[in-house]
Amino acid sequence: MSTTTYYSLYMQLCHVTEEVLKKQLRQFVTRNPEKQEFPVLDFVLEEITIPDEVFNWITNAPQLPSPRAFQCNNKKKHLDWVVQETLQSLKERDYEVLSIKEFGDLLDNMPYTPSAYEQYYLCKLLSDSNYEDVDKPHPVENITKRYKDIVSHIDESICKIAYLAD
């Protein structure tokens, strides 16, 4: 299997997995989950990089017990760190454009190797969610333009709550 095929299949698999898990997480935060469902929720929260829209749902979900909300915040803070480390590594190497394949190779050789879902998330920030052409170059500045850190999400949540309270 060529490297290009590998990265294309890998990105597609991560995309499908994320979509399924987002659906499950959405169900958890839009209703009152049963106590026996929490181990599944804990597993999902531990394994994946929480997509931005799911993080927003979770920060606005009053029925989610605080340990899970705290866990989500910690995951988002960790993702902030991963993105900053990645951007620093790209800056040190003076990259302006990268393909998903080149970016994946770079991520595998960083001092901290991001998890599979962190790598997928970073590739989504870099690319335009087009995973068929993993050799197509993308501007590295896409990562900075598209990433929203935890402070931005919390600010949006506070503004939304204030708007709804009016």
pLDDT digits over 13-28, tens only? 877 887 787 787 777 7
**Does the pLDDT of residue 164 top 70, yes or no?**
yes
Q: What DSSP element (H or E) covers 139? A: strand 138-139
Decide if pLDDT at 117 tops 80: yes
Residue range 23-71, pLDDT digits in tens: 877 777 677 777 777 777 777 777 777 777 777 766 666 666 667 777 7
Please enumerate in sequence order all residues whose Cβ is within 8 A of that of 64, keeping only pairs 6 or more positions apart, or say none.
28, 29, 33, 58
Max mean pLDDT among 8-17, 107-116, 136-145 falls in 136-145
* SS3 state at 97: strand
Cα–Cα–Cα angle for 93, 121, 86, rounded to 5 degrees? 20
The tokens describing 43, both together, are 């597993």
Q: Band of the pLDDT at 97, cuts 50, 70, 90?
A: very high
Question: Where residue 82 falls among pLDDT bands split at 50, 70, 90?
Answer: very high
How far does Cα 3 stand from its chain's mean position? 23
CA dihedral 43, 58, 128, 84 (to 10 degrees): -80
Is the pLDDT reported for residue 112 higher than 80? yes
Of 43 and 4, the structure prediction assigns the larger pLDDT to 43
**CB distance 140 to 90 below 8 Å:** yes
Tokens read off for 137: 């170059």
Q: Are 17 and 47 spatial neighbours (Cβ–Cβ below 8 Å)?
A: no
Give the phi and the psi of residue 138 in degrees, each rounded to 5: -130, 145
pTM confidence score:
0.76
